[in-house]
Structure 1
C-alpha cells in the first residue's frame, strides 16, 4: 500500500519540508485524515460581478432561510461593485479618480475604511502591494498591443504617477486628494476579496453557519463544515499546468487568496512576460509562478498573495516569521526541470492533500 505520508513528504519542498514531513510521518496510514476530502452534494447560487463569477455554496441540508440569505449576499456584491469599480463613471471610486486631482473628494465611511487598510498594507509590504499602478499597467497594455516592450522613458513617466505617497487620505475630514493629474486608485487586487468577506459576514449575520463563497475562483472564504470533513475542500491548480490539479486544501473557517500568471501574459522576442508587475520597478515579476495565502479574511489574503508574488520566497518568509496566522504556498519555477517547486510557510500539513488522483473540490 502506498504510504500517503511519504507521498506528502516527497511532494513538499522548501525550508519547512522536513518539519512537515516529520509531522506527516506520525500519522497512521489507516487514519481517515490521510484521505483527500472530496465535495459532496451542494446548493449553488451564482452571479456575475467584477468581471467574474461570484458563488455562494451551501450544504443542501441547511436551514430553509439559507437560500434567501445567499441571494442577499450576492446582491451585496453588486452594491460593492458599484462602490469600488473604476469602469463605471458613476461609481464612487471612479468619481474619485476623475476629480481628486482637482480638489479633495469626500469618501463614504465604508470606502474610507478600506482605503485606510490599503494604505497600511502598502506600508507593511514595502510597496509590493500597491493599488496605484494603473499608469504602469496602461503602458504595458499599449506595448503588448504593439508587440513590443515599454521604453525606459515610458516606464519612468508612469512611475512618477504611482505610489501611495501620491494619495492624500485625510481621515479626520473623510476626504481623499491626489497630488497630480494622472494618479488613480484601482482596488482590483483586494476588491474581490473584500466583497467575499462582506458576503460571508452577511451569511453569518443571518445565522447560516456552513457556507463557502467564491469570487472569481481566486478569492475564497469558508465557514463551518462540508460533508463531515471539518471544513471545505478547495482545489489548487498546478501553476504550470492549469488543467491539472496540484492538490486540495481543507479550508477551516478561513480565506484563501491566489495570484498567478498562468492565464495571463504575452511574449516578445521569444520571452514570456507575466501580467503581475513589481510596482517598485515597473517590470513584470519573474521566476514566481503562483502564490496562495491562507488567513482570516479574503481581502487580506488577496492583497498579500499579490505582495508575496512580488517579494519572492525569502522576503515573504521574513515577513511571515512573526505572523503564524498567515499561511503561504509559493510556487517557483524549478531550475532543474519543468516543474513547480512549492515553498510552504505556516500551513498545517494536516490540511494539505497533494494530488495523487483527481478529486472533486471547490
Structure 2
C-alpha cells in the first residue's frame, strides 16, 4: 500500500509540474505578433506574455519614426543641422545597423527611409519612373552619411532631408529583446513571432526542438520543409504579393537603396541566425543582391543559413541547411 501511495504521489508530481504551450495573438508595431510560451498554467503564461508585450511596446516607442517625440524622429528632424544625443540602446542599434550596411555593401541601409516613394505597389502604376527620377529618389540615401560619436553618444545625419528607419530590423530586434526579457525571468521555452520574424528558445514540452514550417508562396498549402530550430531566429520575407510588371520584368516592393530599382528574381527568402535582428537585415539584403550573389554571401557567414525561392518556384538552400522533409 505504501509503495502504491509513493507511486501515485510520484505520478501526481509529474502531472502537477507538466507544462504546456500557451499562445496569444495581437497587433503590435503595426503588425501581427504571435507570442508563445511554455508555462504551467494559463495564469502564469498570461503574466509572461504581458511582460513580452510591455518590452515590445517600449522598443516601438524608442525606434518609431511616426512618433514626433521619439529619439529616432529627433535624429531625422535634425538632419544636416546638429547631432542628437540618444539612449545607449538606440545608439548601439544604429551602430550595428551601420555595420550591417558595410557588411552588405549597402544592400541593407537604415537610411532607406530617405527614399522618395516613386514606386507604387497598389496597382496604380501605369508606367515606370524615368532613370532620372529613380536616381534622384535615392540621392539622400547612404549609411556613409551617418555620423556616430561614441564618446558623446550622439547621432548626426550630415545631409538635410536624410532619414533613418527601422522597418527592416525593428520587429526582429523587438523579438530578440522580448525573448531575452522572458529568459531572464526563467521562462524555459517559447517563440516570439513578429510577422515572420521569429525567435525561439528552449524546447517543446515533449522535449523536442521547435519545428518551423517553410511554405512555397506559389503554393501556400504545401509545406516543403520543416526546420528544427535550437535557440535560433528564423526570418521569412516575401514579395510575391506586392509587385509591378513592366516590359516582362517583375519588380518587387523591396528596393535596392543604392540604385532605387526594385529587386527582381526572388519571391521569398528565409534566413536562420542567432538573432532575429540579424536575420531580418540579411533577408532584405539577399532580396537586393539576387539569388546567386545572395547565396554566395550567406555561405561566407558563420552561423547563418538561408532558403531562397525564385520566381520560377525553384528552392535554393545554403550549404549547411538540412530541412526535415
Moved more, 278-287 or 227-236: 227-236
2:14 aligns with none
Query: C-alpha separation between the residues in 1 aligned to 2:112 and 2:221?
Result: 30
Q: Secondary structure at the match of 1:81?
A: helix
| 1:345 lines up with 2:318 in the alignment | yes
1:298 aligns with 2:276: yes
Give the match for residue 59 of structure 1.
38
Count of residues in correspondence between the two structures: 307
Partner of 1:237: 215
- Given the superposition, is the C-alpha separation of residues 343 and 169 from structure 1 closer, same or farther in structure 2, using an over 3 Å criterion? same
Question: Is 1:207 matched up with 2:200?
Answer: no
Instruction: Report matched runs for 1:113-262 at 5 Å.
Output: 113-136=92-115, 138-141=117-120, 145-216=124-195, 218-228=196-206, 230-262=208-240
Does 1:47 pair with 2:26?
Answer: yes
Q: Which moved more, 1:169-178 or 1:130-139?
A: 130-139
What is the alpha-carbon distance in structure 2 between the residues aligned to residue 215 and residue 236 of structure 1?
16
Shift of 1:271: 5.1
| Equivalent-residue separation in structure 1 for 2:174 and 2:304 (angstroms) | 20
Q: CA deviation at 1:294?
A: 0.5
CA contact (8 A) 1:239 1:262 kept: yes
The CA RMSD over aligned residues, in Å, is 2.4
User: What residue number does 1:31 align with?
Assistant: none
Does the 8 A contact of 1:135 with 1:162 survive in 2? yes
Counterpart in 1 of 2:84? 105
Any unmatched runs of 5+ in structure 1? Answer: 1-39, 335-339, 355-362
In 2: Cα distance, 1:115 partner to 1:213 partner = 22
Structure 1 position 270, deviation (Å): 6.6
Q: Deviations over 1:207-227 (max 9, x none)?
A: 0111111101x1001111115
Task: Flag the structure with larger Rg.
Answer: 2
Structure 2: give runs of 5+ residues left out of the alignment. 1-18
Instruction: Provide the rounded CA distance (Å) in 2 between the counterparts of 1:189 and 1:243.
Output: 27
After TM superposition, list the pairs within 5 Å mapping 1:1-12 onto structure 2. Answer: none
Cα deviation 1:123-152 (Å, max 9, x = unaligned)? 011111111122435122499645332222
Separation in structure 1 between the aligned mates of residue 282 and residue 208 of structure 2, nearest angstrom = 26
SS in 2 for 1:353: coil
For 1:162-185, what per-residue CA distance to the aligned partner results, in whole angstroms no more than 9, with x for missing partners? 010222122221111122222110
Summarize deviations over 1:245-285 as a string: whole Å, max 9, x none: 33322221100012220132234567542101122221111
Secondary structure at the counterpart of residue 147 of structure 1: coil
**Cα distance in 2 for residues equivalent to 1:331 and 1:183:** 33
Asked if the contact 1:277–1:283 (Cα under 8 Å) also holds between the matched residues in 2, the reply is yes
Length-normalised TM-score, structure 2: 0.86
With structure 1 as the length reference, what TM-score do the two structures score? 0.78
